[in-house]
Amino acid sequence: MITTNFEIFAQRSRGMVWTKRPTQKIDGSWVSSQWGGTHMRFEEELVDDGPRKKWHCGSGGNTTGRLNYETAKENSACYISACTADWVSSRTGKGSPSRCKMFETFQREANVGDIIFLHHKKVTHWGKYTGEILSYRDGFPNPPDGTNPSGWATTHGESMERHIHQFHIKVERWIPLTIPFRGAGENKTLYEVSDKPGYKIQ
């Protein structure tokens, strides 16, 4: 976030909270010729600043979910799978109408700038939805190489048959919550929480 350009610095600092955690002096190869002295870190003010919808996106509480959660944090995304009419479970031979409804509702009702909360055992991060959903399925932009959820890749393999049932919902970036919380406790992957208490940017 450090810049030597005053205009860029001023633009970035709007809506920011100054901190002294820690005060940093830039030296060595990182000397700033324009500022030439002590720089302070600043961080984005966590302000709930508009009538955006809010969504919960969970990764599951098991080992597979943990791996997917770590990939999600690295790739500024959250994931949902098995949520289309052509998906059937290899174990039961059945589809998942409830997950289809979750995903269809999100596609229909979510808007750019909506807040998504990331969950693994607790709600730990929030991010602003970019409007992008990536998939290997026709009609969607493909995910970049190396960004597939590592939990599903480890437990189920990386065949295209698996990939076409996975969706990457993108956020600008994940911002850690100061105080993680347990969430609504619903056994769902993706759902709206605009009216749920506790889902606040903090």
Q: What is the pLDDT of residues 163-181, one digit of tens each?
A: 899 999 999 999 999 999 9
Q: Are 127 and 118 in contact (CB under 8 A)?
A: yes
- CA-angle at 100, arms to 98 and 106, nearest 5°: 105
d(CA 100, CA 80): 10
> Can you list the residues of the chain whose pLDDT is less than 70?
1-50
What confidence score (pLDDT) does residue 162 get? 81
The reported pTM is 0.75
d(CA 78, CA 86): 21
What confidence score (pLDDT) does residue 2 get? 53
Cis upstream peptide for 176 (omega within 30°): no
What is the number of residues in the chain?
202
Q: Which two tokens stand for residue 172?
A: 């600008």
The owner of tokens 């437990």 is: 155
Domain boundaries, given as residue ranges, for the chain = 6-44, 54-192
Q: Please give the biggest Cα pair distance in the chain.
A: 66
The conformational region for residue 33 under phi > 0 = left, psi -120 to 50 = alpha, else beta, is alpha
What confidence score (pLDDT) does residue 4 get? 54
What confidence score (pLDDT) does residue 90 get? 85
What confidence score (pLDDT) does residue 8 get? 56
Element (H, E) at 99: helix 97-109
